[in-house]
Structure 1
Amino acid sequence: MLKKLFGKSAGQAAQNKEHNLQRIFPIIKAQLGGGTSAGLENISQPISEHLVDNLHIYFAEDTGSQFEYLNEESLKDLQKNIAQIKEIALANLENYANKTGISIEGDDNLQMVKLDRNLEASLILMESLWSQVLAKYNDNAIVAIPSRELLIIGPASNSTSLSQLTQGANDLFNSGEYKLSPKVFLKRPGAKIELQG
């Protein structure tokens, strides 16, 4: 599956077909002006949920070569609501991450969380990962997701971490292909992600 997931295109809306619930994942996208997310301009009514700032969670089925985004028609086909789809997608992400393996590399200031170069940004939704990270830091975490394949973290009370992450997130966002956000976010135990500062 790692080979199949690498380098997926944004895809299209899933149309009247058999869906494989075990291949539905949460995908983080930045919303552009006018309420459209990058790469989804031609997809009819993709379902989404607001995450933070201009970031939204979309739900897409991994077809092997691309992600097909679920829309209102998909929900009818699946006989599910968005809350049920979100629960399924988060469980699939956790299973996939556990099977594939997450690696965390870096120094005392900043670490990069790696999975498969497609779903790193989605790991921001994985509470089991945050439980481990926050326990290791004994602190809140600062977080950046400048593009879909980058999740960078550091301890929130470390001023060097914040300075490096603020600059790095902006630089990586400006040079990234699948842009999400140049901003730094904060993760507290048991809380939703929020803007830092």
Structure 2
Amino acid sequence: MIEGTVCNKAIAYLKPIIHDNDQSLLNDEVLELSHEESIAELPFNDDLIINFVYEVEDFEYFLYVNNGNLEEENMTIPEQRHYGIDNLIERANEYNLQIQEYETGCYGLILDGNFEASLILIDNLWEDSLKHYITNNFIVAIPSRDVLVFCDSQSEQAIEELKRTIQSVWEDGDHLLTNKLLIRSGGKWEYR
């Protein structure tokens, strides 16, 4: 982890967007935050956002970077994204990112139980490091923060396994993200 301020230690972290029609996901009380207290975020797609978290108290829990942190440290959101991705890469190296191969032609990324899904944000991972696992485009399932499974876009058997993985996690999982498959095309992720 980079030593220094809150912002330059923060790790990029995917979270679901709570849409107006998803108010049942919120507690009865809605907390109003000032701009400074609001969590710093970047859009990823229509359902997911990128937040930034940092570890405190000897790695026992995470706190979110808020807009006040960015202002105090004179950092922009694009700069925070850069630090967040670099710190995610560092975490993947530190925790020895592993690839699990399944019989169905799927592969899972195993990290630390917190940032597996966020690995989708590391372009070099998909453009270079993992490219030899597929021959076409990547299809990815990230049903929760701790699950990232991928396959080749032309493998129907593997895609069906990704759908079963989503269904299994979605039934009783926590820290849910999306029940949709994503495809990587032209260096971007979009829903399949």
Shorter-chain TM band: 0.7 to 0.9
1:110 corresponds to 2:101:
no
Aligned to 1:50: 43
Q: 1:88 to 1:36 in 2, by over 3 A?
A: farther
> Helix, strand or coil: the match of 1:59?
strand
Deviation string 1:36-57 (CA, Å, 9 cap, x unpaired) is 9979x75741111111231110
Residue equivalent to 1:72:
67
Structure 2: how far apart are the matches of 1:22 and 1:45? 18
- TM-score, normalised with respect to structure 2: 0.83
Preserved CA contact (<8 Å) 2:7 2:70? no
* CA shift in 2, pair 1:92/1:35, >3 Å: farther
Residue in 2 aligned with 1:83? 78
Aligned pair partner of 1:25 in 8, 11, 25: 11
Partner of 2:189: 193
Aligned pairs for 1:122-161 within 5 A: 122-131=118-127, 132-161=129-158
- The answer on whether the counterparts of 2:9 and 2:83 sit within 8 Å (CA) in structure 1 is no
> Which structure: larger Rg?
2
| In 2: Cα distance, 1:91 partner to 1:78 partner | 18
Q: 2:73, 2:171 → 1: CA distance?
A: 38
Match of residue 4 from structure 1: none
Shift of 1:112: 1.1
Aligned residue number for residue 95 of structure 1: 90
Question: CA 1:113/1:96 → structure 2, altered by over 3 Å: closer, same or farther?
Answer: same
Amino acid of the structure 2 residue aligned with 1:134? K
Root mean square deviation, CA, Å: 2.5
| Structure 1 unaligned spans of 5+ | 2-17
Runs of 4+ deviating beyond 2 Å: 18-23, 33-39, 41-44
Q: Is the 8 A contact 2:12 2:118 kept in 1?
A: yes
Letter in 2 for 1:87: H
Letter in 1 for 2:105: N
> Which amino acid is 2:184 matched to?
K
The unaligned stretches of length 5 or more in structure 2 are none
Q: Secondary structure at the match of 2:75?
A: coil
| Equivalent-residue separation in structure 2 for 1:98 and 1:36 (angstroms) | 36
Q: Kindly, what percent of the aligned residue pairs are identical?
A: 24
The normalised TM-score by structure 1 is 0.81
Read off the aligned partner of 1:55 and give its amino acid letter: L
